[in-house]
Amino acid sequence: MSDAPHIYGTPEPDDKQGNATRDVATGDQRAEEPGYDHALNLDGGTFVVVEETSGVAYAEATRDIGGGGGAATEVEADALRDQADQTTRSEGLSRTVAIGAAVGVGAGLLANLLRKAVVQAPSVLAGSWDKALAAEHRAALAIFDQIEATGEDEVAKRTTLLTTLKHAIGKHAFQEENSIYAMMRDLEMAEAADHLNHEHGYVKQYFFDLGEMPRDDPAWLSKVKEFRAMIESHMREEEDELFPRMRRTLDEAQNRHLTKLMHREGLKLA
């Protein structure tokens, strides 16, 4: 397998889908999934592997990027984003489309897959599932910072930032609910999972209330700050207590498998 980051999900023609399999290890259990690899050269030096697996898109980092603990820097994530943008505007597009045609997908579908991969890239490059979710927490708090820096006369900017925050947190919550919390319940952490899921309901409530309020209402920013306090408490509980406990309970193979599952869910909404 290549050392490049993986982008999963380009569908294979029906007559090929059953002809190849890829082993996936989860603890003592092994499952087989259809799988095919195709390398894309984004800029002459950076390679991404497009893989098909049951027609569902997801991403998995297969190597450490950056220094120290292996988490990529924001600069590196931005670089990957720029490289993908350049690919769609340059001669590299012809190579991408050629590969896409070879595996039975249209250029539009492959371009959409690349767009999704770019959105998910910062999470993928952060490393394992818990590090990726922590990185997404920091990204959401950075958007809160931008919102809190706006004035009552910046209605359009507040609306745009609120939409950005809603998308970021919505994708994040979808990942957690459909992979992390589900795994928690299987690990006899159902009470904790249900508690976190319950708090996600109030996240939706805050977005609803903020969407209904005029952006220039003096109470709007106070509501944002109340929302942030609630969500920061939620994040701390996950990062400081529940996620470390869960990671210790799972073995190395299971943690890798959960990371893959989480990114698959994330790319559905990326």
Contacts of 89 (CB under 8 A, 6+ apart): none
- pLDDT (0 to 100) of residue 124: 73
Q: 151 pLDDT band (50/70/90 cuts)?
A: very high
75 pLDDT band, cuts 50/70/90, is very low
pLDDT-derived band at 91, boundaries 50, 70, 90 = very low
- pLDDT over 70 at 167, yes or no: yes
What pLDDT is stored for residue 141 in this prediction? 97
pLDDT higher than 70, residue 250 = yes
Calpha distance 67→187 (Å, rounded): 33
* Percent of the chain's residues with pLDDT above 90: 51
The token duo for 33 is: 């999934």
Instruction: Name which of 51-60, 158-167, 209-218 the model is least confident about.
Output: 51-60
Domain layout of the chain by residue ranges: 6-126, 129-269
The whole-number pLDDT of residue 30 equals 43
Q: Provide the pLDDT for residue 81.
A: 52
- Tell whether the model's pLDDT for residue 245 goes beyond 60: yes
What is the distance between the alpha carbons of residues 172 and 166, in angstroms, rounded to a whole number? 10
pLDDT at 233 over 70: yes
* 205 in Cβ contact with 262 (< 8 Å): no
Query: H helices within 90-154, ranges in order?
Result: 92-102, 107-126, 129-148
Q: Which two tokens stand for residue 16?
A: 């090929």
